[in-house]
Amino acid sequence: ETARPFDQLTVDDVVKARPDVEEKVQDMVSKGRFEVPGYKEKFGDLVIM
């Protein structure tokens, strides 16, 4: 009940609480494998050719 609303969280707050998240994200991005599950289904592929 004393927690902040989700929309007020920052990346720094999440990293402070779960340092492993930052390491995993950096690894995934460096390998080009960072995709949000369900994003393409909801918003489509935004690649413009």
Confidence of residue 20 (pLDDT cuts 50, 70, 90): very high
Whole-angstrom distance, CA of residue 41 vs CA of residue 8: 27
pTM: predicted TM-score of the whole model, two decimal places: 0.49
Q: Mean pLDDT throughout 20-33? A: 86
CB burial of residue 46 (10 Å; 0-12, 13-18, 19+): exposed
CB 26 within 8 A of CB 20: no
Segment 32-45 mean pLDDT: 80
Do the Cβ atoms of 49 and 42 come closer than 8 Å?
A: no
Region 23-37: mean pLDDT is 82
List CB contacts of 36: < 8 A, sequence separation 6 or more. none
pLDDT of residue 2: 78
Query: Domain-by-domain residue ranges, the chain?
Result: 6-43
